[in-house]
Amino acid sequence: MFGRIFLTALAAGLLSGIFIWGAHSIKTTPLILAAEVYENQGEAVGDGLHQVSPAAPAAEEKEWGPADGFERNAYTLLSDVLASIGFAFLLTGVIALSGRHVDWRQGIVWGLCGFAAFFVSPSLGLPPELPGMQAAELSARQAWWLSTAAAAIAGLALIALQDRTVLRWAGAGLIVLPHLVGAPHPEIAPGALPAELAAQFAATTLVVTGLFWMVLGGLTGYFYNRFERS
C-alpha cells in the first residue's frame, strides 16, 4: 500500500508539476514580471511593499534570489514540481483513507475537490496576489489561508465521505465559517499597480489552477488504479 501511494503521488505530482510550470511560464510569470516594474517604481520612491526586487541592486546585495531569466524559471520549475508533488501526496492520502475505488474520471472529481479547498475557498477571501498589491500582514493571511483550506477539506469530507445528514450540514457550515470570520484585509489606498493586470492575473490563475487540479486528479486516479494491480 505504501508503495502504491508513493508511486502514484510521485508520478502524478511530477507530471502535473511540469504541466503547471509550462502554464505558469506562458500565462502568469509575464504578469508577475510586468507587476514588478510598478512595484519597483514604488520602492524607488520609498514605498517598501515588497522584500524581493530583482531589479533593485540594494535588495539584491542583502539577500539571495535567483537571477532573472533561466535561473528564475528553473527555481519556479522546482517549486511548482515540489508543490505539485505535495498536493499529490495529500490527494492520494485522502483517497487511500477513504478506501474508495478511483479511476481517472473519478480522479478528476477528487482533483476538483482539491481545487475547491486549495484555491476557490481561500481565494474568495484572499484573491491571488501580484507583487506590489496591498495586503494585510503576512502571518495573519497565511493563518487565515491555511485554516480556510483545512476547513474546506474537513467540510468536503463530511459532505461526501459519510452518510449522516447532520454531519453533512456541519460540513457545509465548516466550509462557510472562515468567510463569516473574514480574511485579513488592509485599508486599500490608491496604488501604482494597474487594475487590469490584477484582474488578468486573478482570472488566469483561476483557469490555470483549475486545469492543474483536473490534470493532477485525473493522473492520480489513473496511477492509483494502475498500481493496484502491480
Partner 1 sequence: MNTKTLPLKDRIAVDAAHRVAPAVLALLFGGFLILGVGFAQPSTLHNAAHDGRHALAFPCH
Of 150 and 173, nearer to partner 1 (C-beta) is: 150
CB of 2 to partner 1, least distance (A): 4
Residue with the three cell numbers 477571501: 125
Q: Are 223 and 148 in contact (CB under 8 A)?
A: no
Nearer to partner 1, 79 or 162 (CB): 79
Radius of gyration of the chain (CA): 20
- From the list 144, 141, 148, the residue with the least C-alpha distance to 175 is 148
Cell numbers for 118:
486549495
State in angstroms the smallest separation of the CB of 169 from partner 1: 25
| Least distance (Å) between residue 46 CB and partner 1 | 17
CB of 142 to partner 1, least distance (A): 5
- CB closer to partner 1 out of 44 and 124: 124
Do 45 and 113 meet the contact criterion of CB atoms below 8 Å apart?
Answer: no
Closer residue to partner 1 (CB): 139 or 165:
139
Residues in the chain: 230
Cβ atoms of 21 and 197 within 8 Å: the answer is: no
Of residues 86 and 194, the one with the C-beta less far from partner 1: 86
Q: How far apart are CA 136 and CA 140, in angstroms?
A: 7
| Binding-site ranges for partner 1 (CB under 8 A) | 1-2, 5-6, 9, 20, 24, 28-29, 32, 49-52, 63-66, 72, 75-76, 78-80, 82-83, 85-94, 96-97, 99, 119, 122-123, 126-131, 135, 138, 141-142, 145-146, 205, 208-209
Minimum distance between the CB of residue 222 and partner 1, rounded to whole angstroms? 17
Helix (H) or strand (E) holding 185: none
Nearer to partner 1, 166 or 192 (CB): 192
Indicate the helix (H) or strand (E) that contains 164: none
Give the position of cell 485599508: 187
- Provide the minimum distance between the beta carbon of 62 and partner 1 in the complex, in angstroms, as a whole number: 9
222: CB partners within 8 A, 6+ apart: 12, 103, 104, 107
